[in-house]
Amino acid sequence: MNSQNQDQEHLRLLSIFHYIVGGITALCACFPLIHFTVGLALLFAPDKFSGPENSPGPERLVGLFFSVFAAVFILLGWALAAANIYAGRCLAKHEKHTFCLVVAAVNCLNTPIGTVLGVFTIIVLMRPSVKWMFEANRFDRQSSGAAPPTE
């Protein structure tokens, strides 16, 4: 197997793995929906959670805390999932080299699967032959009249 075929096969596999990790990340980002729901219940119906003496408690504050933090984690998780899926598409089409590197670096923070995917993606994307494939693809798109990429 020559070097170019090997690079293309590695990029194809990395693309598939980015799709898979993106889907898993999107699914895991849905877990805080439970906290978000409980937070909304505490925020809008605190009387259902108060004790028998009906003393004013911190239910609304706890509900706000639960809702806000859960919403932030959900949105960040979905954003990371979308970035992974888009990076998988870009890897398959040999586009947006810098974006793919940034997503790979962010994936390194997501242990253990994201770390492995991020490290392997960085290793493959740093090869001169792979960089050349991305540059050649960018040049081909620009010379064919396609819209210039925004990287």
Alpha-carbon span 130 to 95, nearest angstrom: 11
Domain ranges of the chain: 3-140
Q: What is the pLDDT of residue 4?
A: 80
pLDDT > 90? residue 99: yes
**pLDDT tens, residue by residue, 14-41:** 999 999 999 999 999 999 999 999 999 9
| Residue 59 binned pLDDT confidence (cut-offs 50, 70, 90) | confident
User: Which are the contacts of 59, defined by CB distance < 8 A and separation ≥ 6?
Assistant: 42, 43, 46, 49, 50
pLDDT > 90? residue 67: yes
| Residue 1 binned pLDDT confidence (cut-offs 50, 70, 90) | low
What's the pTM?
0.82
Q: Is 150 helix (H, G, I), strand (E, B) or coil?
A: coil
Please, what is the end-to-end C-alpha distance for the chain in angstroms? 31
